[in-house]
Structure formats: structure tokens, C-alpha cells
Amino acid sequence: MRREVATVGIALLAALAIGSALILVAGRSPGHVWFAMLARTLGDPYLFGQILYKATGLALTGLAVALALDAGLFNIGAEGQLTAGVLACAVVGQALPAGTPAILAIPACTLAAALAGAAIGVTIGALRVTRGAHEVITSIMLNAIVVGVALWIGNAVLFRGGATRGGAIVAGAELPPLGLAGSAANASIVIAALCVGGMWWLRARTTWGAAWRAVGRDPAAARSVGIGVGRVQILAMLGSGALAGLAATNFVLGHKHAFEEGLGRGTGLLGISAALLGRLHPLGVALAAILLGFLSVGGLAVNDLVPKELTEMLQGVVLLSVAVAVPWVRRRWAQ
């Protein structure tokens, strides 16, 4: 754990230094810009709520990527799994009878989102185990297929009057906002928190968690002690897809209350950054999601001082810093 903390700390310091250099190039004082970013985002309830909103989706897709990586698989299909979840969640929410109570509507839509994401994830896992198809390639292909199918269904069935928005979900399926000055932050943050806690417990306290981490470290050694490597990989991808699909609750049930083309786009790919920055630990992923959400919202908050593209670049800088810090810390720790 100390090595992981050291890796992240070094990476963040390096990213801070590079970001400060970029701010200087933009003709501003780094200290002034960083302070303004903190003061404006944390001091404004609306902007703080927007950080929580972005972090909620990123935490769930980050957990999805982390689960797969723990089992030795690279799931870059969270984008497609999230899109499938958004479509399923919205369709079920729209199809429910108007008077459906929240105690039934919210679980039904949540389950639909998780099952849709899980279906894509388990397909990737099954192709890897049964046909040897690399999960990165199949994830990329399925991302494109799912986005295309979702748009086709939207145009054929859901969209009306030339718009790219479907009908509204029933009122009982809507998650309440957190009341932060009209921000998009909503009660789906509870779902994300429960998933973080559940993943931590599974990973650290159960034989199933030990099995998927053993497969990720050394499949041959895991197989030699009787662990069904293929079964573990398929189930890990199923769980990974379900977590990515659950991020749809943040966008559909908590914010837009309908299917929209492109809703949640980019969250699945940015979840890779959250997983790597969080070093695959559920609590680390949650903190990384908050940091990435802060950079995203903070860039808009200080766009009168520096171009917002600068803070968007910092998200990539943080990830690159982690990639560089990992082997350096490993070498230093071995000495």
C-alpha cells in the first residue's frame, strides 16, 4: 500500500509541476490560478455539485476497469457498456406505467442498466476465453457496434420530431437531486458509494476477490491450485460490464430523465484514467474520480484566466505521470 501511495503522490506532484509550467506559458501565475480553481469550485455549491456529478459516473466506470484489470483483462469497453446501460435504463423507465412507485421503478431501471452493461461485458469475456479474441480488440469493436445500434434504435423508435432525445421516464424512476444550487448531482452517488464499499469488501475479504486477483497476477499459478481461470475471467468481465452499466443511473435517472444520443459519452474512456490513477483500489478509484471531476469543472471555473483546454490536458498529464512513476517507484523499492 505504501508503494501505491508513493506512486500516486509522485505522479500528482509531477502533474502539478507540469500544469504550473503550462500556466506560466499562458501568462498567468500558477499560484493564483490554482487558488482560484479551488476557491471557485469548492466555494460555489453549484460547481461543487457538478464535481460530484462527474465523479459519480467516473467512479463506476473506473471500478469497472479496475475489476477487469485486477483479473488480468483490459476492459476498454466501458464506453459501450455505459451506452447500453443508458439505453436500457431509459427504455424501461419510459415503458413503466405512469403511476409506478419509486420502490419498484428505480430498482427496475437500475437492474436494466446493470444487465445491459453486463451483457456486453460477458460477451467480451466469453470471446476471450472460448475463442482467444483479445479483449481490447473486441471492446473497441463492440463500442462502435453498441453506439451504432443505440442510435439506430433511437432514430427508429425513440426520437420524435427530429430531436435526438427520447420520451421521459416515469416520475417514480427519477432519483432526487442533492439540492446543490440546481446542479446535476443526484442520489445515484449512493449507488456509487455502495459499489465502492462492495468492491472493497469483495476484493479484500472474500475468496472470490482473492481468486480474481490471483488470476490477474499469474494465470498459470492460479490454474495450478485449482482456480478456473476462464470462469473467473468471464465472471470478472460480467461484473465489470455491470458496473459500467450502472453509471447510466447517474445520467438517466438522476439528471436527464430520458435517453439522449451521446449521453455520458467519454465517461467510460475517462474511467480508465480513474482506475489507473486509483491504482485499482476501490477507495483510490473513488478519490481519483473526484480529482478528475475537479479538474474538469475547475477548468470551466477559471476559463477567464487560462484556456479550459489546459486543464483538460492535465487529465492526460496525470495519467502519463502515473505511467512514468510506476516503474521508477518499483525500481527504488527494490533497492
pLDDT, tens digit (0-9, with 9 covering 90-100), for 274-329: 998 898 999 999 999 999 999 889 888 888 888 877 877 877 777 777 777 766 66
Confidence of residue 246 (pLDDT cuts 50, 70, 90): very high
Residue range 198-205: average pLDDT? 94
- Model pLDDT for residues 159-196, shown as the tens digit of each residue: 977 789 999 999 999 999 999 999 999 999 999 999 99
**3-class secondary-structure state, position 143:** helix
Ramachandran angles phi, psi of 114, nearest 5°: -65, -40
Domain that holds residue 120: 72-265
Q: What per-residue confidence (pLDDT) applies to 125?
A: 96
Q: Which of these, 44, 12, 129, 66, lies nearest to 275 by C-alpha position?
A: 66
CA angle 112, 54, 27 (to 5 degrees): 155
Q: Answer whether residue 332 is part of any domain.
A: no
Q: Answer whether residue 39 is part of any domain.
A: no
Q: What per-residue confidence (pLDDT) applies to 330?
A: 67
Q: Answer whether residue 38 is part of any domain.
A: no
- Model pLDDT for residues 39-78, shown as the tens digit of each residue: 999 899 999 999 999 999 999 999 999 999 999 999 999 9
Q: Answer whether residue 285 is part of any domain.
A: no
Residue range 24-48: average pLDDT? 91
pLDDT at 7 over 80: no
Domain count, the chain: 1
Which residue's entry shows cell 427530429? Answer: 162
Q: Answer whether residue 135 is part of any domain.
A: yes
Q: In this structure, what C-alpha cell is assigned to residue 174?
A: 427519477
